[in-house]
Amino acid sequence: MGLADCTRPRYDACENHLLSVCSRNQRLASQQWRVVRRLHEEVCELREAVTALKDTLVKHNKPLIGSTSQNAGKSCKHILDCAKLLQSGVYWVCASPKCTVVKEVYCDMRSGGWTLIGQIGNVRGNFQNEWLVTNKNTAILQTPMIQQGTYGWIDAVEMAVNHAKEVSCLS
């Protein structure tokens, strides 16, 4: 029943309708207040956690994991797990099992701590012919440790299909 119906001599029905609308509005306002109060409490808890983390770091005078070469993380995921509020960017990670070699890498923290190992940009011509190349310097990729400044090619399909189970992260 709309408000236009209230012009008819059905005043009781109009009054009941308005009481129903009023009651519904009060329930919605109460629900919204509970949601706002819960969000406020969660924001306060987060603020307290961040403050405690900062205080702990200042107290121990240690930089965040991954922020310096002396405090490299095991991986981007490890860095993210240690400090949940980090943004995507360049971080230091161990490039050898005992962390004797460290490298700066780009970490995508928005999607869970992934390490960017390749990026395609400004591609001209046939992308597939240039990217999915077979048998181009793949021997360098089979050595235990790839030396700094050394690059190799590998067929992306070959890597994904035949070698995906062989890929492992340093721990």
Predicted confidence (pLDDT) at residue 168 exceeds the cutoff of 70: no
pLDDT tens digit string along 27-43?
Answer: 999 999 999 999 999 99
Q: Considering the chain, what is the average pLDDT of its residues?
A: 73
C-beta neighbour count of 108 within 10 angstroms: 14
**Which is more confident, 120 or 107?**
107
Q: How confident is the model at residue 118 (pLDDT cuts 50, 70, 90)?
A: low
Q: What is the mean pLDDT of residues 103-118?
A: 82
**For the segment 79-99, what is each residue's pLDDT rounded down to a tens digit?**
988 887 778 888 899 988 888
- What's the gap between Cα 94 and its chain centre? 20
Q: Which residue has the tokens 């991986």?
A: 75
